[in-house]
Structure 1
Amino acid sequence: MPWATNFWLAIAGLLLVTLVAGLWRIWRGPTATDRMLAAQLFGTTGVGILLALSQAMQQVALIDVALVLALLAVIAMVAFVKRMQGPSS
């Protein structure tokens, strides 16, 4: 079905536009927290793009890559929160 492929590619393109908006927030971002949340947006949007491309191209392996990217985003957020808390006593 070519319409389904075009639909998933359009979704991936739309998500790519939001990724560019997140890049702007990382670049401008007034605080470190804003930058980290924008980086978290990269992780979740990247997962969404990979899942949409997986459907469009019928590539099941992209789902595995999306899961790894989601795990890396969670690890990055945990590391950021621990860093912002400071030394624990």
Structure 2
Amino acid sequence: MSLLSDVFLGAAAIFVVLAIALLYRAIKGPTMQDRVLAVNVLGTNTVVILALLAAGLDQPWFLDIALIYALLNFLVTIAISKFTVERGGII
């Protein structure tokens, strides 16, 4: 493995640690909007991790998974936001 691959894998590991720390906000967020935003950021973070793994491991199919996950993340965030607005979750 080259130095650049190690840098990509190290960056992916840092993003994994940040995702674990962000999981606290998704569980303990004071409002529903904080939780929705945290879940959206976790999804975006996962896409970044997959892209870094694709570059670090030289596996381009990880990018396909990252693209599909990004689309699903967007749709789930819109659905959750619509659900909370219909329930009166927006002040």
TM-score (norm. length: structure 1): 0.91
Q: Residue deviations 1:34-76, cap 9 Å, x none? A: 1111111111000000000000111010000000110111001
TM-superposed CA distance for 1:86, in Å, is: 1.2
**Root-mean-square deviation (Å):** 1.3
TM-score (norm. length: structure 2): 0.89
Q: Report what 1:75 is aligned to.
A: 75
Gaps of 5+ in 1: none
Tell me the number of residue pairs that the alignment of Structure 1 and Structure 2 aligns.
87
AA in 2 matched with 1:76: V
For 1:18 and 1:48, locate their aligned partners in 2 and report how far apart those are by CA, in whole Å: 12
Moved >4 Å (runs of 4+): none
Gaps of 5+ in 2: none
Contact 2:36–2:81 (8 Å) recurs in 1: no
TM-superposed CA distance for 1:84, in Å, is: 2.2
